[in-house]
Structure 1
């Protein structure tokens, strides 16, 4: 069996499609952030929105180029990124094996989300107390959102180019199954031989740096982008607090709480990422580097950023409604994932399943009798609750829920193709027993 088979099926429209995405996605990130400024923001479709006005308020390209190379912002971001790398390396944690790779080995990962979150909270608490209720770092972050967004885009380009280049270097100095300099395990989808396509998708499955200490894909998945998203939200709350003489807006506070809970849950339960498609299937190229470092912090925070320039008062009733939607979504998402995890560990043998020729079982009972990806439905409800914190004041903040639905549907299609190839007739039987893809009785 070939360790690294050639990629024969292209996604995202092949080399041309990924070229378009490489240009379009960074532009989209910048434009979305440009549409939320204290001097200009979209309040409603028919209120202060026009294409001419929008184009007039977007920063000219020459100015964007100048902002991209702001030395102070680069210094802050590199300090942030490198500090997290150091903390991720030295903080205590437990070690877990990932999924088995095609060469029969398993990579070891350090799970230290609890240590990382504890340290972050401690630093924020100390800085808040030392500065008498204000934090200059958060205000700097709020005032330089656009520059930071541009910096992360360039950084994602640099990082993905580096990862693509080193993917051609054998595993010198390390042993895999007792051999020195063995061929690396490449991503099945990123080994086409086309430079642009493989660079975008990611050629190497699990690039590791510094004597295999740092798994850059796992690190970027949960650290710099996710935690920066948290800080951007806090900077919006901090800015509103300063500008309004200590007043706390309920909508802005609510979205901070809901998203902070989601972020901390992801970081504290990071072992769940080890079985996700991002880790097990996709290489680490521009797609994931840009998604983790730019798209997550600078587009997932749109609700908080919008509310910092155009605050609304939700009141108790709407706050309770939004929180209920979030709780329902989280309950579905968490309990369904937990049920599948327990089943895989042999703890729920009473649940109905389909035996496959590969010796594994396809769960089709409990939550997983409702739809093939019931956890995706819960995750989407969570995203909807965040958008609802801006109520119906603007269509802009609902971008995230629409984008997330598209992303989940694309993942479902990819997963279905992979499972059909992997399980054959067993998967067809599973589809007959569980016909709905994501939303029960709808899709």
Structure 2
């Protein structure tokens, strides 16, 4: 294991003997492990047949849930009998054909958003953040232009001007949900397949399995860029969460036009989606330190999900409230207090835990710089944090929220997703799709993550698990 002369300021090591190394300095054994991890070893998601099922099944599920939500009072419908099966499918198809066609209006709106967000990402000045060393690039680091926070608020001002002048009314977003969803799906499929063919044609593919459809799903490229814009980070922040926020604003505008006021429930969703969007923008410099940027390739799994999955399946509560009388989901004042308090508490833990982990990695690299974007919450940075130095060369944080759980951010994130369903109470099961689907995703992702960590760090991972005993909820699991 390589040794360095000095330790980055503000870090302390826990229970480690032997030489100490900078977390950005990888040992020879660590490089061998990284080489294995950075190659295709085994299939995930059920292999080629599994990803085909996901790529076909999930869009169908999105259409079905939307139809139930809008046309069947938010209740899950099914054929009355086997004789009704074909008529049932025909009714479903007619809803898609008439109310979710990829019409010219939807193409104009969705493409306009993409073009505007790309333009802003390109031209707006931003903070330059160094990422983690990338094994497939010989441990070189990439620079990321972080200007999302300014781009987001420029977009908000633009939307306000368009709405108040009548050029583009915000209510049109929720009114054209089905049409926009179909266009988003087409973008998801088109970009995923297009990027695969472009990457292979230019010889930049990595970690390939040899199965065409599986490699389209997982991706062929790692760090695609368009000028100064890192497309993977751009898509993760600028499209899904911008749409989610404006979908909530659109629902609030529709409610106000219909009833003359906005319910606390809809206001809750505006706050919840703003918190998430603003967090992505104000902490954008932390994203290059995440697994998504460092390891996950840019394939259908990420592309479709950000173009279509997140913005059109996480926001069902808003779609329900925008099409139903508020008396269906009116709560008592104590219930609203509890709901808002739960959201804000979970948000605080999620925001600060994400910040602690990413800033710890930046401290390890010696590239940490404090950005004064709003809001910077207390305990977002752990001073003099404890950690476990691994033989690989990386460090495992054992301080802050991360001494109580191996995934405190996941727990808080899931609780926030649950409140997005609770906001409509028991009116419909469909708004709970986000939290149900999300917990499945998180458990699966944790399994992938813990398996890689066990392989990557060996006995050091066992030692880490003995210090941080709980996977999710401290004292429980």
TM-score range, shorter chain: 0.7 to 0.9
Q: Which of 207, 226, 229 is equivalent to 1:214?
A: 229
Instruction: Specify whether residues 72 and 365 from structure 1 end up closer, same or farther in structure 2 by C-alpha distance, changes over 3 A only.
Output: closer
Displacement of 1:250: 1.7
In the alignment, does 2:319 pair up with 1:305?
A: yes
> Is the counterpart of residue 83 in structure 1 residue 100 in structure 2?
no
- Residue 335 (structure 1) shift: 2.3
Match of 1:149 among 181, 190, 198: 181
**Match of 2:48?**
15
Structure 2 unmatched runs, 5+: 1-31, 365-380
1:339-418 pair list within 5 angstroms: 339-344=356-361, 345=363, 350-418=384-452
Q: What is the deviation of 1:72?
A: 2.5
Contact 1:370 1:434 in 2 (8 A): yes
Equivalent residue in structure 1 for 2:60, among 9, 19, 27: 27
Q: Secondary structure of the residue that 1:110 maps to in structure 2?
A: strand
8 Å contact from structure 2 (residues 347, 413) kept in 1: yes
- Residue 237 of structure 1 corresponds to 252
1:426: which partner in 2?
Answer: 460
| 2:74 matched residue in structure 1 | 42
Q: Residues 358-386 of structure 1, C-alpha deviation per residue, up to 9 Å, x if partnerless?
A: 23322223322211111111111111222
Alignment of 1:276 with 2:290, yes or no, is: yes
Counterpart check, 1:138 vs 2:157: no
2-side partners of 1:5 and 1:381: how far apart? 33
Question: Quick check: 1:161 aligned with 2:193?
Answer: yes
Q: Is 1:329 matched up with 2:346?
A: yes
Q: Which residue of 1 aligns with 2:162?
A: 127
What is the DSSP-based 3-state SS (H/G/I as helix, E as strand, rest coil) of the residue aligned with 1:100?
coil
Structure 1: runs of 5 or more not aligned: 171-182
Give the stretch that moved more between structures: 365-374 or 193-202.
Answer: 365-374
CA contact (8 A) 1:40 1:57 kept: no
Residues 1:348 and 1:62: Cα distance change in structure 2 (over 3 Å): closer
Which deviations, in whole Å up to 9, do the C-alpha atoms of 1:17-53 show, x marking residues without a partner? Answer: 000000011111111211221x43225x8xxx66549
Query: 1:56 deviation in Å?
Result: 4.4
Q: Does 2:130 match 1:97? A: yes
Task: Tell me, yes or no, if structure 1 residue 261 matches structure 2 residue 296.
Answer: no
Q: Is the 8 A contact 1:273 1:279 kept in 2?
A: yes
Q: How far apart are the structure 1 equivalents of 2:462 and 2:36? A: 28
TM-aligned CA deviation for residue 215 of structure 1: 2.2
Measured after TM superposition, the shift of residue 162 of structure 1 is: 1.0
Of 79-88 and 8-17, deviating more is 79-88
Q: 1:389 to 1:372 in 2, by over 3 A?
A: same
Tell me, what secondary structure is at the counterpart of 2:423?
Answer: helix
Determine the C-alpha separation between the residues in 2 that align with 1:391 and 1:353: 42
SS of alignment partner, residue 220 of structure 2: coil
Q: 1:308 to 1:58 in 2, by over 3 A?
A: farther
Say which structure, 1 or 2, has more relative contact order (CA 8 Å, 6+ apart).
2
Deviation, structure 1 residue 93: 0.9
SS in 2 for 1:392: coil
Q: Distance in 2 between matches of 1:359 and 1:374?
A: 24
8 A Cα contact 2:289 2:358, kept in partner: no
Q: Evaluate the alpha carbon distance shift between residue 110 and residue 64 of structure 1 in structure 2; reply closer, same or farther with a 3 A threshold.
A: same
Aligned 8 A contact 1:343 1:349 in 2? no
Select the residue among 239, 246, 253 that pairs with 1:224.
Answer: 239
Which among 302, 310, 314 is matched to residue 288 of structure 1?
302
Q: Secondary structure at the match of 2:59?
A: helix
The offset of 1:307, in angstroms, is 1.3
CA contact under 8 A between 2:388 and 2:396: conserved in structure 1?
yes
Instruction: Give the direction of change, closer, same or farther, for the CA distance of 1:57–1:261 in structure 2 (3 Å limit).
Output: farther
2:246 alignment partner, SS class? helix
The structure-2 alpha-carbon separation of the partners of 1:380 and 1:432, relative to structure 1 and needing over 3 Å to count, comes to same
Distance (whole Å) between structure 1 residues aligned to residue 228 and residue 397 of structure 2: 35
SS at match of 2:200: coil
> For residues 213 and 365 of structure 1, what CA distance do their matches in structure 2 show?
35
2:337 to 315, 320, 331: 320
* Cα offset, 1:350, TM superposition: 4.5
- CA distance 1:143–1:349, shift in 2 (3 Å): closer
Partner Cα distance (2:126, 2:89) in 1: 47
SS class of match (1:96):
strand
CA contact under 8 A between 1:255 and 1:304: conserved in structure 2? yes
Deviation at 1:337, TM superposition (A): 2.5
- CA contact 2:69–2:430 (8 Å) conserved in 1: no
